[in-house]
Amino acid sequence: MANDRVDFDLRRGEVHALLGENGAGKSTLMSVLYGLYRPDEGELRLGGEPVTIDSPRRAIELGIGMVHQHFMLVPVMTVAENIVLATEPRKGLLLDMDAAGRRVRELSDRFGLRVDPDARVADISVSQQQRVEILRALDRGADVLILDEPTAVLTAQEAAELFRILRTLTAEGKSIVFISHKLGEVLQIADRVSVLRRGRKVETVAAEGATEESLARMMVGRDVLFRVAKEASEPGPPLLEVHGLEVVDDRGLPAVRGVDLQVRVGEIVGIAGVDDNGQGELVETLTGLRRPQTGTITVDGRDVTGADVRGKLDAGIGHIAEDRHRRGLVLDFSLAENLCLRDYRHAPIARHGLISPRRMNERAAPLLDEYDVRGGSCDSLALSLSGGNQQKVVIAREISEDPKVLVAAQPTRGLDVGAIEFVHRRLIEQRDAGRGVLLVSLELEEIRSLSDRVLVIYDGRIVAELAPEASEEEFGVAMLGGRREAA
Amino acid sequence: MSEGEPQGTLTVASRLAGYLRGGGIVTPLLTALIAFFIGGLVVALTGSNPFTTYKAIFEGSGLNWLFPWISSEDRMLAALNLQQTLILTTPLILTGMAVAYAFRAGLFNIGGQGQYFAGLYIGVWVGSSLAGLPGFLHIALALVLGTLAGAVWGGIAGFLKASTGANEVISTIMLNYVALWVGVWAFGLGGPLHSDSPSERSVPISDPVVDDAKLPVFWGDPELQGLHVGFFIALAALGVFWVLLNRSVAGYEARAVGFNPDAAEYGGINAGRTYTKVMLSCGAFAGLAGAIDVLGWQFAVATNDIQNAGVVGAGFIGIAVALLGRNTTSGVLFSALLFGALINGTSVRNLDPTIFQPELATNLTLIIQGLIVLIVSAPVIVTTLYRLRPRRARAEEERA
């Protein structure tokens, strides 16, 4: 049951946020409104009149437009062509592209959505593509816009720009359903918030007066700790030591330039930095997916500089990969198969080249239990799980390998608050169990709340070591490379 | 959603797409039915009756032997026909696996025919020489060497992909041609493996397999080309395939690489080595098919047979077998049987010319085969048409 007796209403000129964890049923609910799924029971009314929406076409006729998370644009066509697609103005047998351009310009002026009608969609940025999607819905006469996780693909500035556009739209009398699992932005943009949990609506509240804590409680069903409590660390001897590491990226350009770092027993070392400053290459090198040009990597005194993935793993480096869909999981494998991705060749999983499903499940089942993986059993495919549960599978596997050092790259990316808390708690547990943790994240807040020491990476170099208590300004300066010039 | 498929009433399009995507037996059955239906239209177009034609093809395949009610006279004929069907099914099982295993690792092995040739050539070479070797040893040696030859031929494509990134589709097609023309040269007049017998001086053909090296016939009359034990070898190979794919470390690696090479790398699996290993195994299956064919019923290799097989040989039909059988063990078995029956049922010898022109009959097989390949590829077409994203995209969407 993806939606269980959900009531939802949308007023003219409001932004109504639909908030919920992964798999809470937000997208299903909106798919019903857009005619992609039909409800088993219940009723839809538009302007007080009962309506049946059996197809997206019908939804469009009724003035409901949807902007999907994955844009439905034709990349090789221009902005104007995409917007008028299927309703093209004609001049005889030919398309009247001038009229199309005019139509697009009028729309974009009226709602303050700046786009270049003649640009090819393939050449414009993601946020502009999103505007094209919104314009297309408006062009079709949409009064109700459904935005499915619109900020997931945007930077902070682009999101702010989107919010400005949404306010213009509501001022024009349009109504907006804003699907999200990010608390902060929901409070920022929405007039009212409906929270879904496991297919049921928990409550609809006014955004005014609500707090992140109160919304999180509704979403997860209990109090959520945004900062996981932890004891002060008592670091022991060094576990992971990196000296003078230089790595090139896929194009052969230097990506990591002479990094020295150390992770000791019982500490979490954070690597803070703006995206694409060598973090990816650093992590890949530490975990054996990429070879360094120069430098040394030792684990517990043992040199593993040139070791491949298996060598690094055997030396005790665990890896929570940044992208669980691309790296961390084989989505078409069962959970049990995924849980043995790192040691499928060894006893007890495999003997004499043959894998025993029984022994595979015997190991997987307790892990799924221990890590509270919901929504699937040993035989379920990984792709059937929500993001948070998929990440639990990855973490369960990496920790069960009993690593000395755990390299956690963006371990909470795309997760909702409940899952984030779970991951954070696990990382601190690992630290307290005497392992070393190297946490690489783009979320400064995450780095600061978890790390015992923070290294700031900029342009492939460690430019500063800061205490997690250092001010946001100090971090900001260092993350933009300021500290190096100052020093 | 994340807790399983959405429960709301789905539209027709998404339901259809679900059937096509989903495993099970529905899709292959539908596929075959549609192909036969369109094939029937073609038959009707030629002025024949599709129902009597299909009945004749069915009886020609000998599958009516399974019906308990047919007369004993019919049963004798049906037995003969069924033996031929199973003889044709045997190599298709093996070449079907050669294609299916590659598919599971994300490779498209179009080179089943070349690998089959390698097994065929080595099989006839070993089988026609070393006279005096005890029969069992001789057969085992010819089968093993034929299998290895196929493995090497397949392995070349895998190794090229692993070492240089050469696309296996191109390299396997090219290796088909190499194998074909090497055979035409070797068994042609004056070639190194051309028959030494004076009576065959002007015929481009190999020496015949010696009697001791021929596979024993266990059903039917050896003089009338009864069913040889190669059929059981193919069934045993199916068992090996199942274990390899589902229970072995090598199969786990192959499937991991096929589903997601990046995640496989993260698991410590070397994709290049896996490609080579997989293509070696694929080639082994196809090579075994060639060796069995030559030791089981062909007994000699003529260059015009090679050139025919280079167009419509078992290696190519193996692609349709794997596609229809969805690359699974049981799927390969049943679709190999279907194609074996079809080929035998439409053969000129079996089809009554008053029911359907025999010259067109073999074309009918090809039409049905082509339709099946086309329709099996249709999920892609259907999903694209209805703008339904594949499940991976959906899963990603649900992540957020």
* pLDDT of the residue at B23: 54
* pLDDT of the residue at B400: 38
Residue B345 forms part of a structural domain: yes
Residue B218 forms part of a structural domain: yes
Residue (of A244, A322, A325, A242) closest to A280 by Cα position: A322
Residues of B in contact with A25 (CB under 8 A): 1
Neighbouring residues of B211: CB distance < 8 A, sequence distance ≥ 6 = none
Residue A432 forms part of a structural domain: yes
Residue indicated by tokens 């993601």:
A126
Nearest neighbour of B267 by CB, restricted to A325, A341, A385: A341
In a shared domain, residues A430 and A287: yes
For residues A383 and B398, what is the distance between their CA atoms, to the nearest angstrom? 10
Q: Scanning every residue of chain A, which has its alpha carbon at the shortest distance from the alpha carbon of B395?
A: A383
What DSSP state is assigned to residue A37? E
Kindly provide the b/e burial profile for residues B258-295, where b requires at least 16 CB atoms within 10 angstroms of the residue's own CB.
bbbbbbbbbbbbbbeebbbbbbbbbbbbbbbbbbbbbb
Checking if the pLDDT of A440 tops 60, the result is: yes
B298-330: pLDDT as tens digits: 999 999 999 988 888 899 999 989 988 888 999
Of all helices (H) and strands (E), which one includes residue A268?
strand A268-272
Does residue A69 contact residue A151 with C-beta atoms inside 8 Å? no
For residues B50 and A207, what is the distance between their CA atoms, to the nearest angstrom? 69
Residue (of B377, B373, B384, B383) closest to B35 by Cα position: B373
Which residue among A168, A187, A220 closes a domain? Answer: A220
Cβ of A383 within 8 Å of Cβ of B391? The answer is yes
Residue B202 forms part of a structural domain: yes
In a shared domain, residues A448 and A474: yes
| pLDDT, mean of residues A220-232 | 75
Cβ of A309 within 8 Å of Cβ of B267? The answer is yes
B328-349: pLDDT as tens digits: 999 999 999 999 998 888 876 6
In a shared domain, residues A71 and A207: yes
As separate numbers, helices (DSSP H) first and strands (DSSP E) second, chain B gives: 17, 3
Residue B21 forms part of a structural domain: no
What DSSP state is assigned to residue A136? H
Domain total in chain B: 1
Q: Scanning every residue of chain A, which has its alpha carbon at the shortest distance from the alpha carbon of B9?
A: A38
Residue A4 forms part of a structural domain: no
Structure tokens at A486: 């100052």
C-alpha of A70 from chain center: 14
* pLDDT of the residue at A126: 78
**Which residue range is the domain that position A278 belongs to?**
238-328+401-486
Between A166-180, A293-307, B34-48, B370-384, the lowest mean confidence (pLDDT) is in: B370-384
* pLDDT of the residue at B7: 34
Does residue A67 contact residue A133 with C-beta atoms inside 8 Å? yes
- A 379-398 residues with CB < 8 A to B: 383-387, 389-390
Name the pLDDT band for A485 (thresholds 50, 70, 90). Answer: very low
In a shared domain, residues A129 and A255: no
**In chain A, % of residues over pLDDT 90:** 44
- A 420-479 residues with CB < 8 A to B: none
Q: Does A45 touch chain B (CB under 8 A)?
A: no
* pLDDT of the residue at A23: 66
Name the pLDDT band for A1 (thresholds 50, 70, 90). Answer: low
Residue B290 forms part of a structural domain: yes
Q: Would you list the DSSP string of B215-253?
A: PPEEES-GGGT-EETHHHHHHHHHHHHHHHHHHBHHHHH
Domain total in chain A: 2
In a shared domain, residues A122 and A149: yes
Q: Helix or strand or coil: residue B206? A: strand
Q: Helix or strand or coil: residue A221? A: coil
For residues A145 and A67, what is the distance between their CA atoms, to the nearest angstrom? 7
Cβ of A325 within 8 Å of Cβ of B396? The answer is yes
Residue indicated by tokens 């230089």:
A246
Q: Does A21 touch chain B (CB under 8 A)?
A: no
In a shared domain, residues A138 and A271: no
Q: Which residues of B touch A (CB under 8 A)?
A: 1-4, 6-11, 14, 243, 247-250, 252, 255-256, 259-260, 262-268, 387, 389, 391-393, 395-400
Residue B380 forms part of a structural domain: no
Checking if the pLDDT of A40 tops 80, the result is: yes
- How many other CB atoms are there within 10 angstroms of residue A5's CB atom? 10
Checking if the pLDDT of A418 tops 90, the result is: no
Does residue A193 contact residue A205 with C-beta atoms inside 8 Å? yes
Residue B61, Cβ density class (10 Å: 0-12 exposed, 13-18 middle, ≥19 buried): buried
Residue B221's CATH number? 1.10.3470
Q: Scanning every residue of chain B, which has its alpha carbon at the shortest distance from the alpha carbon of A23?
A: B2
Structure tokens at A58: 């019908």
Residue B111 forms part of a structural domain: yes
Cβ of B8 within 8 Å of Cβ of A38? The answer is yes
Structure tokens at A221: 């069903």
Of all helices (H) and strands (E), which one includes residue B303?
helix B303-312
Does residue B125 contact residue B274 with C-beta atoms inside 8 Å? no
Handedness of CA A150, A152, A156, A157 (dihedral sign): negative
A86-100: pLDDT as tens digits: 777 887 777 788 888
Which residue among A220, A254, A283 closes a domain? Answer: A220
Residues of B in contact with A69 (CB under 8 A): 397, 400
What DSSP state is assigned to residue B351? S
In a shared domain, residues A56 and A95: yes
Which residue among A187, A220, A253 closes a domain? Answer: A220
- How many other CB atoms are there within 10 angstroms of residue A417's CB atom? 23
In order of A151, A371, B21, the CA distances from A154 in angstroms are: 5, 32, 32
Cβ of A342 within 8 Å of Cβ of B255? The answer is no
Residue A94's CATH number? 3.40.50.300
Residue A345 forms part of a structural domain: no
Cβ of B399 within 8 Å of Cβ of A375? The answer is no
Task: Work out the minimum CA distance from A33 to partner chain B, whole angstroms.
Answer: 12
In a shared domain, residues A183 and A253: no
B168-218: pLDDT as tens digits: 999 999 999 999 999 999 999 888 999 888 888 888 999 999 999 999 999
pTM for this prediction: 0.76
Average pLDDT, chain B: 85
Cβ of B8 within 8 Å of Cβ of A28? The answer is yes
Residue B8 forms part of a structural domain: no
For residues B216 and B234, what is the distance between their CA atoms, to the nearest angstrom? 14
Q: Scanning every residue of chain B, which has its alpha carbon at the shortest distance from the alpha carbon of A26?
A: B1
Residue A486, Cβ density class (10 Å: 0-12 exposed, 13-18 middle, ≥19 buried): exposed
In order of B105, B154, B206, B327, B373, the CA distances from B102 in angstroms are: 5, 10, 32, 9, 17
Amino acid (one-letter) located at B114: G
In order of A44, A124, A136, A349, B339, the CA distances from A130 in angstroms are: 28, 10, 10, 47, 50
In a shared domain, residues A213 and A320: no
Cβ of B7 within 8 Å of Cβ of A341? The answer is no
A363-394: pLDDT as tens digits: 999 999 999 898 888 999 998 888 888 999 99
In a shared domain, residues A200 and A323: no
Residue A228 forms part of a structural domain: no
In a shared domain, residues A136 and A272: no
Of all helices (H) and strands (E), which one includes residue A481?
none
Q: Does A116 touch chain B (CB under 8 A)?
A: no
* pLDDT of the residue at B1: 32
Structure tokens at A65: 């437009």
**Which residue range is the domain that position B107 belongs to?**
90-356
